[in-house]
A and B are shown apart, each in its own frame.
Chain A
Amino acid sequence: MDRRERQKHIRNFSIIAHIDHGKSTLADRILELTGALSSREMEAQFLDSMDLERERGITIKLNAVRLQYKAKDGQEYILHLIDTPGHVDFTYEVSRSLAACEGALLVVDAAQGIEAQTLANVYLALDNNLEIIPIINKIDLPSAEPERVKQEVEDVIGLDASDACLTSAKAGIGIEDVLEAVVTKIPAPEGDPDAPLQALIFDSYFDPYRGVIASVRIVNGTMRKGMKIKMMATNKTFEVTEVGTSTPHQTPVEELTVGDVGYVAASIKTVGDTRVGDTITDASRPAAEPLPGYRKINPMVFCGLYPIDTSEYNDLREALEKLQLNDASLQFEPETSQALGFGFRCGFLGLLHMEIIQERIEREFNIDLITTAPSVIYRVTQTNGEVLEIDNPSKMPPVQKIEQIEEPYVTATVMVPKDYVGDVMQLCQGKRGEFLDMQYLGENRVQLKYDIPLSEIVYDFFDLLKSGTKGYASFDYEMAGYKPSKLVKMDILLNGEVVDALSFIVHKDSAYGRGKVICEKLKELIPRQQFEVPIQAAIGHKIVARETISALRKNVLAKCYGGDISRKRKLLEKQKEGKKRMKAVGSVEVPQEAFMAVLRMDDKK
């Protein structure tokens, strides 16, 4: 088929949805209906291929598949489905997948209606000029109210929902309607197959055999094996060794041309050479301009990652490099802690992102980590007028040199059934939130807006919000700039020495209370040592709280049971195993959890 003719039969789309509204199930049904997977291969939720994703029921990394669909008009279409993550931390990834599409399916739960994250992703899609097809899912639930939800889509988002698809992905209802809507409503890709190559890299990963594999969307031109290509941001050139598509198994093809979504391998060895968001062009006939990249999203949450075993420092660096390859939002730079040795200060989009990176390093790279409590970037104006950006509490200048400290605020949008409005307001106020706005969305649901310090959000806001509203609240936030705050740095001393990795920044009014709670918490977490260990919380030179871990007095095995040496060994091994996840800070053995103790300060309330 002629390239231009073929191009008319390509449709590229994503699915956007709030977590649990049925996105993955819908994707599975689409794969099933188009025969992309035989039923034998049909593994529940194929697109979520990372173990971690399946366990947590969320999508983190985007995946793209090519599907063949014979539409009711009798024509064969090529559909590229590009998956997107739903969590607020991964807005950046969503914007990447949306940039590779012409349309998006907006999946809304027929019982729950629109949630805060759905809204955020819809706005992203609208920003990208995507055609949006509303889908009301889970219509077979007894509590489903498709008409009300349609109305909500019209009222809240301003989309015409009159011909929204009504589906139950779980029961397989309405799936064909969805595919028909994709074919008829989403425009075919524009672009010129004969123009110089412009391919957008929207994802990449490292394959030990083939080097870096980049996922691309061809916007103009054609790419084939043997071709010399150039990365427009880095100016590096490579020879293409393979192009192909995921069906969803990787299948090499002759060429990728306008509208195609596929992968390219070109013996690229260094991770840094393929930047997500970069444009690939033809080295011998380069395009004049790169495609617009992505809006670079800056990390908002920072923490230190340190290998427990100091000899694994280089392994940790490699792990971070590999993860960064397809997660450009992950930032890291070397740092040194007196307490923890050599490690990295890493920047994340949010707390979930941080947890996932940490877990992936431990699981996929087998490196045991110490993670310090997360911090945001504070802006500190010194008395000499100099302004510092502090992402690590231990770097805070001494009090007498500080003119003022500003901290980042976010505007938080919470959607919640009206019965919980009181609880949400109480929570927001407890987190130093400033009320902005309250609106009724229909009869029963309320949208609340607050300005809240980001540092309060990164701790446990989301968990408290969920537990305080029986899971009914949904939440999204955007940056709202910096505001001055009465903040102080609190140091923790173990055995009389400041442990830099335990320092944190806290609002002056709650400093005493927090100091006390964290000392108590550390006393619980740090096992007794062979000597007495005082724990102190201090602001500057002033001690505000103190606890003491009494010394371990007696630990010796009694009898040898008829020569049962292995029993003795097992006991000692168990004891030793416990110590493995500990870090020696000075002469004190500190377990990993202690470094996160600041996070869990609210347990005791």
Chain B
Amino acid sequence: MPPKSVYIHIPFCTNKCYYCDFNSFVTNNPQLIWDYLDALRAEMELTFARTPAEEIETIFVGGGTPTFLDQRQMQAFLEIVQAHLGDRLAPGYEWSMEANPGTTDYDKLSLMRSFGVNRLSFGVQSFDDRLLKRLGRIHDVSDVYASLENAVRAGFDNLSIDLMFGLPDQTLEMFRESLGKALELPLSHLSVYSLKVEENTLFHTLYQKDQLPLPTEEVELEMYLTLIDTMEKSGLHMYEISNFARPGKESRHNKTYWLNNDYYGLGAGAHGYVDGWRHVNAGPLAIYTRMAHEGLPRVEGFAVSDSEAMEDQMILGLRLREGVDKARFAARFGRTIEAEFGSIVAEELAKGMLEETASHLRLSKRALPLGNEVFARFLRD
């Protein structure tokens, strides 16, 4: 069976945020974008010729900043997607696009909606203008309200925002406030991530010079626990380590990853998992663009062995609040979790880091902030 999910990467931004090490480029040369869209079309053609899509349940357009595209470019992009996938969309499909509050207007959002996009994920990050500035974001809080309003007006009813915590000079109180403001908005979903200082970012440079006053681990932990608590009280249940949703509004696309299911990955630097192969596309624009016209723009690819897939299934699945589905694991690999990871599971159960339900194996509440400690155990030597 071909994948039921598609990830498409739009690697453009108006500027680079100080913490970001994603594959994104800042440009004011429109030709680069047109060339990119052309390459994307070529990659889609070849991809779906080789592995035709049957029924697509989720599409996720991420970035970069997909809404960086201007009206004409957006139109062209949506047409490309529609041409390849329009007639494959399953009933009740989920089509998400990431959006930046600083680069959306009503017309663009309407256009997106008219092509069938039905879920938006706004990169809000914080409701504190000073912090937003500190992160290198181009938008301010008023942009957030304006774009959310536009989105509702354009007919979107499945809205999500991203928030961050553990930011420089951020206090628990500031984070609480941001959460409170987020909850006033008509959201069905929230993703809340802790800041991770990645190499090759401005933050990393500052961090190394000891000029990035991050909250202590204790405070960060408090923020995380506050988050979980606040969300639960507000009817947004935690379905993954960093994700919260109203019932039925979990991001089905993201769950694809956590369930270790396959997906098409398209665009510069995109990762895909098709037919037992994981692959990585060329990241730099010029290289991706050139390669996409010569064949599939792959720079890496490897078959995932059963043994590795079982590890992935645990590592990814344990991120879900419900945990790893034991029957599903056994059906997929012909081996039970018990047979494969028995001693590790037993040890972690005994430590109180894992817990077992009738159908699932999951992280205990106590283990949530220490997930990595548990995940790493499922990697074999």
Interface: B184 (CB within 8 A):
no
Asked whether any CB of chain A lies closer than 8 Å to the CB of B265, the reply is yes
The answer to whether B370 touches A552 (Cβ under 8 A) is yes
Question: Is the pair A556, B371 in contact by a Cβ cutoff of 8 Å?
Answer: yes
A495-516, CB < 8 A from B: none
Chain A contacts for B376, CB-based, 8 A: 572-573, 575-576, 579
Measured between alpha carbons, how far is A530 from B353 in the docked complex, in Å?
10
Give A567's nearest chain B residue, CB to CB: B271
Q: Which of A558, A565, A566 contacts B257 (CB 8 A)?
A: A565
How many pairs, one residue from A and one from B, have CB atoms within 8 Å of each other in the complex?
A: 96
Question: Measured between C-beta atoms, what is the minimum distance from B320 to chain A in Å?
Answer: 12
Chain A residues, Cβ within 8 Å of B271: 562-566
Cα–Cα, bound, A580→B379 (Å): 12
Judge whether A559 and B263 touch: CB under 8 Å.
no
Q: Are A552 and B373 in contact (CB under 8 A)?
A: yes
B313 to chain A, nearest CB (A): 11
Q: How far is the CB of B66 from chain A (nearest CB, A)?
A: 12
| Distance (whole angstroms) from the CB of B68 to the closest CB of chain A | 16
Bound Cα distance from A563 to B262, whole angstroms? 10
SS class, residues of chain A in contact with chain B: loop
User: Which residues from chain B contact A557 at a C-beta distance below 8 Å?
Assistant: 196, 241, 371-372, 375
Given contacts A554-B221, A558-B194, A572-B315, contact A563 B265 (CB under 8 A): yes
Does the CB pair A555–B265 fall under 8 Å?
no
Q: Mark B273-295, 1 if CB is under 8 A from A, else 0.
A: 10000101000000000000000
The answer to whether B95 has its CB under 8 Å from any CB of chain A is: no
B9 at the A interface (CB under 8 A): yes
B78 CB to nearest chain A CB (Å): 19
Chain A CB within 8 A of B87 CB: no
| Least CB distance, B95 to chain A, in whole angstroms | 16
Contact A565:B278 (CB < 8 A) given known A556-B241, A559-B193? yes
Nearest CB in chain B: distance from A495 CB, A: 14
Tell whether A1 is near chain B: CB-to-CB under 8 Å.
no
**Which residues of chain A have C-beta atoms less than 8 A from B196's C-beta?**
557-558
The answer, yes or no, to whether B323 is at the interface (CB within 8 Å) is no
Q: Is A553 an interface residue (CB 8 A)?
A: yes
In the complex, what distance in Å separates the CA atom of A558 from the CA atom of B220?
13
Docked-complex contact B370 and A530, CB < 8 angstroms: yes
B22 in the interface, Cβ–Cβ < 8 Å? yes
Complex Cα spacing A530 to B366, Å: 11
A566 and B273 CA atoms in complex are apart in Å by 11
> Interface digits, B214-233 against A, CB 8 Å rule (1 contact, 0 not)?
00011011001000000000
State in angstroms the CA–CA spacing of A568 and B315 once bound together.
Answer: 9
Indicate whether B15 reaches chain A with its CB closer than 8 angstroms: no
Is the CB of B138 closer than 8 A to any CB of chain A?
Answer: no
Contact yes or no, B7 A562, CB < 8 A: yes
- Rounded to whole Å, the gap between the CB of B73 and the closest CB of chain A is 20
A566 pairs with B278, CB closer than 8 A: yes
B43: Cβ under 8 A from any A Cβ:
no
Q: Which residues on the B side are within 8 Å of A555 (C-beta)?
A: 369-373
Beyond contacts A556-B371, A560-B258: 4 other A-B pairs, Cβ-Cβ < 8 A, are A555-B369, A557-B371, A569-B311, A572-B379
Interface residues of A (CB under 8 A from B): 530, 552-566, 568-569, 571-573, 575-576, 579-580
Question: B-side interface residues toward A, CB under 8 Å?
Answer: 7, 9, 22, 60, 62, 191, 193-196, 217-218, 220-221, 224, 241-242, 254, 256-258, 263, 265, 269-273, 278, 280, 311-312, 315-316, 351, 353, 368-373, 375-376, 379, 381
